[in-house]
Amino acid sequence: MTSALPDFEPGYAEINEAKIYYEIAGSGTPLILVHGFSLDRRMWDDQFAFLAADYRVIRYDVRGFGNSTDAPVQPYSYLDDLMVLMDHIGIEAAHLVGLSMGGAIVVDFAVEHPERVLSLVPVDAPLGGVEWLTNFGTRMGITARLANQVGMDSALDLWLGDELLEPAMNNPACAPALEEIIRDYTGWHWTSGAKSMSRDTQTSELLNTIVSPTLVIVGEHDLIDFHAMGDVMAEGIAGARKVVIPNVGHMSNMEDPTAFNELLHKFLSTIE
């Protein structure tokens, strides 16, 4: 399933030597979609038009992904990028939805800037300070070394075959779109040596500072790491709840967009 895209306004925001590409559709309360690692804004195609019927939806390419540029190599901040992007567009506060890496970004943003978050939806998201139960980190390291030593084609072959993406890649409704997006990834975060900034205190220790309504979403067949991290978020954020979408893995919004959209819309409707 891939929905027809709505009419949207494209733009670039110049942020800390980079140009961050974004698209805006619809009107109403702002809602921002943040994509996962090696992906870009296109992973939200099935949500963009659906949500634009009721919200002012902003999706953007995180620094180094999609149409966004990747300078500088010095430490950069995904959180600063998001905050300046909101300022550039003129958004004081928004609903934040992020998958995987994007989920980590929106959770950290809610910790740092609670006044700018209307609600929080981390989807299949990692959580700093929670120990990994599988060897996923080791596999990521191997893929990064392959990108540097052999080349991006080999690295992306390995990445696309990883257990993390197996349910989505076995789903004919979303596999072609997912592979196309990932094949377009430049690998800058693996090969440039650039590092994103991090805080001294782990995010897991700061969950009680999050005050926005929170829905934690995890795909049934995602790695046990993300289920465990989802449990920690649901327990640590006041009033949060965790919902498991059945029969999907890490890319729940692409694997079953109907179930995902209904769940998200119901949650947002209770807040609105």
| pLDDT value at 272 more than 70 | no
Q: Is residue 20 included in any domain, yes or no?
A: yes
pLDDT in tens, 120-173: 999 999 999 999 999 999 999 999 999 999 999 999 999 999 999 999 999 999
Q: What is the CATH number of the domain that holds 29?
A: 3.40.50.1820
> Which H, E and C letters describe the chain, residue by residue?
CCCCCCCCEEEEEEECCEEEEEEEECCCCEEEEECCCCCCHHHHHHHHHHHHCCCEEEEECCCCCCCCCCCCCCCECHHHHHHHHHHHHCCCCEEEEEECHHHHHHHHHHHHCHHHEEEEEEECCCCCCCCCCCCHHHHHHHHHHHHHHCCHHHHHHHHHCCHHHHHHHCCCCCHHHHHHHHHCCCCHHHHCCCCECCCCCCHHHCHHHCCCCEEEEEECCCCHHHHHHHHHHHHHCCCCEEEEECCCCCCHHHHCHHHHHHHHHHHHHHHC
Into how many domains does the chain fold?
1
pLDDT value for 24: 98
Q: Which domain holds residue 222?
A: 9-131+194-271
Instruction: State pTM to two decimals.
Output: 0.96
pLDDT in tens, 198-214: 788 999 999 999 999 99
Q: Is residue 219 included in any domain, yes or no?
A: yes
| pLDDT value at 72 more than 80 | no
| pLDDT value at 216 more than 90 | yes
Q: Is residue 71 included in any domain, yes or no?
A: yes
pLDDT band of 1, cuts 50, 70, 90:
low
